[in-house]
Amino acid sequence: MWAYDADNHLREDIDAFPKYMDPGFRERGWRIEKTDGGKDVLWVGDESWPDWTWDTATRPGSFRENLLRLRNGENIDPFRGDQETVRVEYRDRDARLKLMDEQKIQAELIFNTLAVSRGWMVGGDPAQTYANLRAVNRYLAAEWGWAYRDRIYAAALLGLDDLDLAIAELDRLLAEGVRAINLVPGPVGRRSPADPHFDPFWARVNEANLLVSFHTTPASHIAYREMFSGWWEPAEAAVHRGVSDTDSAFMSFQMFNERPIMDTVVALILHNLFGRFPNVRILSVENGTFWVPYTVKLLNKSYAINQNGFWLGGKPERPSEVFKRHVFVTPFHEENIQTIVDVVGPDCVLFGSDFPHAEGLADPVTDYLSDLEVTDPLTIRKIMRDNLKGLLEGTPAG
């Protein structure tokens, strides 16, 4: 089976974004500076990546192998993986197409590695923030394409922090033919992303049948750190450090993966975004699906017992039905995917490999199918191919 992969990644070189910066924003934008020892370091705003490796990367699938070793009782650090030279297909789209042929991947939604995670936000300076985003998106358009050969679909990065600047960048991207955009899970300042304040943005997404992804990202932690820092634990527990951007397991629980995407999906549904904009479909990427059964059940419960309550954006239809039509999820390969299909049906579950990341799959299609606890052939075809194909083509899945 030739698959459609909803979670693939490129790996940027050090000069990927600096060369696309607007001249007037280079001083605080993406830039390369030398250390006293002569080493080139990437900066944006006040953040730098002195330890980022540009010529080597962790071997695809090595974290997955480590997790299997942990299950077998070995005492190892799961976050340590074998390093290898960065492969040409991580940075060249034609080389990537050849690899996709070998992997039997017909098409893929591809995300940045560095930029999707953090860095482009510059607090208190929206003009600089959106200049940084433009540089990332120019790189994606020029070197990967929004729909290269109708096989590689790069997800543009956007934020809603400044509505006018967000609309201007969205309009620019739509004129270029973008097919998917990626937003940061979580609130926008103190607003829901479905607040009617943002309706001009969502109206454009709705008209264009644009796919909107919410890829997991430490950038979500900014809002959650502000909400939780100093509550439950001392403020120093929220230090921006470590693999999960925190040294506290409690803060990681609040800020990483499940919590931001749960809150985002709940807000989009209960604040009636999809009632106002019925063509909008959102895709949760690399957030897993452990949260889905609980969230769907609690959505229906909250909806039922608050019929006469406050409804920002209008009262939606029954949340579980809205979820099935408008929310699409990418389970981690180790999850019981049949459980998710039983809750939301087969039409909104998508295959995502996270290739070539270490926690992803080394052989995406073969490895995913080997873990897939689904037996119905039509359901397998929808998960592995048809559902993402429909989203990328702007047509309903199912």
pLDDT digits (tens, 9 = 90+) for 286-341: 999 999 999 999 999 999 999 999 999 999 999 999 999 999 999 998 899 999 99
Query: Does residue 36 sit within a domain?
Result: no
Query: Does residue 55 sit within a domain?
Result: no
**Which domain covers residue 191, as residue numbers?**
3-28+88-216+257-393
- Domain tally, the chain: 1
Q: What is the mean pLDDT of residues 79-98?
A: 92
Query: Does residue 235 sit within a domain?
Result: no
Q: What is residue 153's three-state secondary structure?
A: strand
Q: What is residue 363's three-state secondary structure?
A: coil
State which H helix or E strand residue 284 sits in: strand 281-285
Query: Does residue 198 sit within a domain?
Result: yes
Name the average pLDDT for the chain.
92
- Pick 221 or 239 by higher pLDDT: 221
Query: Does residue 71 sit within a domain?
Result: no
pLDDT band at 78 (very low <50, low <70, confident <90, very high): low
**Whether the predicted pLDDT of 51 surpasses 60:** yes
Query: Does residue 46 sit within a domain?
Result: no
pLDDT at 82: 82
Query: Does residue 323 sit within a domain?
Result: yes
State the Cα–Cα distance between residues 349 and 329, nearest whole angstrom: 5
- Strands of 327-329's sheet in order across: 156-157, 180-182, 211-215, 281-285, 327-329
Query: With contact defined as beta carbons under 8 Å apart, do 94 and 354 qualify?
Result: no
pLDDT band at 243 (very low <50, low <70, confident <90, very high): very low
Query: For 26, phi and psi rounded to 5 degrees?
Result: -70, -30
Task: Give the global pTM.
Answer: 0.94
Buried b (16+ CB within 10 A) or exposed e, 149-177: eebbbbbbbbbbbebebbbebbeebbeee
**Whether the predicted pLDDT of 242 surpasses 80:** no
Residues 139-194 pLDDT 10s:
999 999 999 999 999 999 999 999 999 999 999 999 999 999 999 999 999 999 99
The domain spanning residue 312 has which CATH number? 3.20.20.140
Residues 102-136 pLDDT 10s:
999 999 999 999 998 766 888 889 999 999 999 99
State which H helix or E strand residue 107 sits in: strand 105-111
Q: What is the mean pLDDT of residues 91-109?
A: 99
| Percentage of the residues of the chain whose pLDDT score is greater than 90 | 76
Residues 316-325 pLDDT 10s:
999 999 999 9
Query: Does residue 196 sit within a domain?
Result: yes
pLDDT at 394: 82
Query: With contact defined as beta carbons under 8 Å apart, do 287 and 257 qualify?
Result: yes
**Whether the predicted pLDDT of 228 surpasses 80:** no
Residues 216-225 pLDDT 10s:
988 777 788 7
**Whether the predicted pLDDT of 241 surpasses 60:** no
Residues 365-374 pLDDT 10s:
999 999 899 9
**Whether the predicted pLDDT of 246 surpasses 60:** no
